[in-house]
Amino acid sequence: MTHRTYENWIFNDEELTSAQHAALNAHLRTCDTCYRLHQRRKSHEYLFRTVGMLAPVSGFSVRFYQRLMTRDIENMRTRNKAITLVALVGLMVWLGAVMYQFASWLRFLPSLLSDWTAQIIGQLAFWEITGEVLWGVLWEMPNVSLLPVAWSVFWLLGGAGLLWGVSVSRILSNRKLTA
Ligand SMILES: [Zn+2]
């Protein structure tokens, strides 16, 4: 007889002949695995019998089930509240950080604007003077070949542009450092 046969017998012991019962009992004494299976089967049977005895108490299982459900719902509500609270706190912290950033940016905005305005006015004055000087030079030296003049204008414009770009980028990076 195989091990598997005894396992089947353990779960169908109501349908066994007395000879099969005797064989099963003999196997249970020698096989630990089957014995443990048999014990588990017995305890389940006991549990089912107990539940069967309790079940007739009117509406017990329904009440039991309802209590379980209520407890689950309560747990779920508590969990949802906790999650909502954490999410709210996180949102508030995030909003606070954003507001702080925005406020510090706002604080620097006027000085940034006045810097830019001063820069633009300075540039305009510079170009006005430069233009007048160049214009004067061009008018004062009508006999000078125009090619070297054109070249000097070109280099002057290039150098001024470079200086202007450097000063603007320096102002911007200074702002970034202090902000
Ligand atoms: Zn066995």
Q: How high is the pLDDT of residue 77?
A: 82
Instruction: Find the 33 Cα to ligand 1 centroid distance in Å.
Output: 6
Instruction: Find the 25 Cα to ligand 1 centroid distance in Å.
Output: 10
Ramachandran bin of 59, using left for φ above 0, alpha for ψ from -120 to 50, beta for the remaining angles: left
Q: What average pLDDT values come out for the chain (179 residues) when binned by 10 residues?
A: 84 85 92 89 76 60 72 81 88 88 79 84 86 79 66 86 85 67
> pTM higher than 0.75 for the full model?
no
Tokens at 53, concatenated: 């005895």
Report the distance separating Cα 125 and Cα 164, nearest Å: 13
Query: In the chain, what is the greatest distance between 2 CA atoms, to the nearest angstrom?
Result: 137
Q: Are 38 and 28 in contact (CB under 8 A)?
A: yes
Instruction: Determine the 3-state secondary structure of 157 from DSSP.
Output: helix
Q: How high is the pLDDT of residue 23?
A: 92
Q: How high is the pLDDT of residue 29?
A: 93
Instruction: Find the 98 Cα to ligand 1 centroid distance in Å.
Output: 70
Q: How high is the pLDDT of residue 11?
A: 80
Q: How high is the pLDDT of residue 132?
A: 85
Residues lying with their CB under 5 A of ligand 1, a single-atom ion = 3, 6, 31, 34
The total number of residues shown for the chain amounts to 179
**Quick one: CA torsion of 138, 139, 143, 147, rounded to 10 degrees?**
20
- The CA-based angle 24-26-31, given to 5 degrees, is 85
Instruction: Find the 12 Cα to ligand 1 centroid distance in Å.
Output: 15
Element (H, E) at 82: helix 60-140
The 3 state secondary structure assigned to 19-70 is: HHHHHHHHHHHHCHHHHHHHHHHHHHHHHHHHHHHHCCCCCHHHHHHHHHHH
Q: How high is the pLDDT of residue 57?
A: 57
